[in-house]
Structure 1
């Protein structure tokens, strides 16, 4: 009888242990904000954006200036002159919009530059997260800022500070 209870208990503990999984989460936004190279990358991207936006604004100001001049001169123009000026303004407007789309569109230069600059930093963070997970025998690590809905997260499972330590950075978060 004792042997049967022991085997049943051992089986129950083994089965329960096999299904026990260890979870943790990280706050990737917080980790990235603590990384100096991320701040530097953000500034670099912002500088590019500002530079290109100035150029876009200049192009549209030029179009506005041409349109106002056209309106002022319109009464003195022949039909042929009007068509030429309208075509010139329309062509400049199309060129400006194409430039804006090329720089700021979903597949534009800003998006690709941003991806190229930020991806290595995100990869570095991902490797650190993986190292922490392996060191602590975690089965899954969630990102607090991802699309996964986390209705409650116990702060003791927050491994963001451990990831920062792995990256050689100091955490400013206080744990409770």
Structure 2
């Protein structure tokens, strides 16, 4: 009876070698910075409203003061809602990242599958994921094979 053959790859290492991954990361960063700038601008507007209220406070009736304060708090809540919509769990940032990374990850997974079939691997682990691998024998590391499958192999590196 033959045992099952296991192997592992480091997908984070592989992704970092892929130009399309780096391009996707840059695009995500660019979009995130634009959203952050938009949020900072709205925060400045709210701070300016508070400052104006403090300056004019002595001239306002209590009712006028409360009305202005309520309007400012409404803007603060809208800003919090926008932050959650963009950067919250499954927000726009998460969706944009997923969209841009999906094709890159699919490419890696297809290459891993091809290498697994060629090398007759029954189970392939991802060393970079949440799986804790206390010891790994490099003989079971198929990262270089996947890089080669993606056309990103190092010419000077010899696969064992």
Specify the TM-score bucket, using the shorter chain as the normaliser: over 0.9
Q: Contact between 1:45 and 1:114, CA under 8 Å: does it hold in 2?
A: yes
- The C-alpha deviation readout for 1:108-136, integer Å capped at 9, x for no partner, is 11100110110111111000000000001
List structure 1 segments (4+ residues) > 2 angstroms apart after TM superposition.
170-176
- Distance (Å, rounded) in 2 between the aligned partners of 1:65 and 1:171: 56
Q: Contact between 1:34 and 1:171, CA under 8 Å: does it hold in 2?
A: no
**Partner residue of 2:115 out of 132, 136, 158:** 132
Q: Spell out the pairing of 1:8-23 with structure 2 (5 A cutoff).
A: 15=1, 17=2, 20-23=3-6
- Distance (Å, rounded) in 2 between the aligned partners of 1:129 and 1:67: 56
**Partner residue of 1:143 out of 117, 126, 132:** 126
Structure 1 stretches lacking a partner, 5+ long: 1-14
- The question of 1:70 aligning with 2:53 is answered yes
- Distance (Å, rounded) in 2 between the aligned partners of 1:128 and 1:168: 10
Q: 1:154: Cα distance to partner?
A: 1.1
Aligned residues: 159
SS in 2 for 1:149: coil
Q: 1:170: Cα distance to partner?
A: 2.6
Q: 1:173: Cα distance to partner?
A: 9.7
Structure 2 stretches lacking a partner, 5+ long: none
Q: What TM-score do the two structures reach when normalised by structure 2?
A: 0.94
**Partner residue of 2:27 out of 44, 67, 75:** 44
- Distance (Å, rounded) in 1 between the aligned partners of 2:127 and 2:86: 31
Match of 1:28 in 2: 11
Q: Contact between 1:24 and 1:138, CA under 8 Å: does it hold in 2?
A: yes
Match of 1:97 in 2: 80
Q: Which has the larger radius of gyration?
A: 1
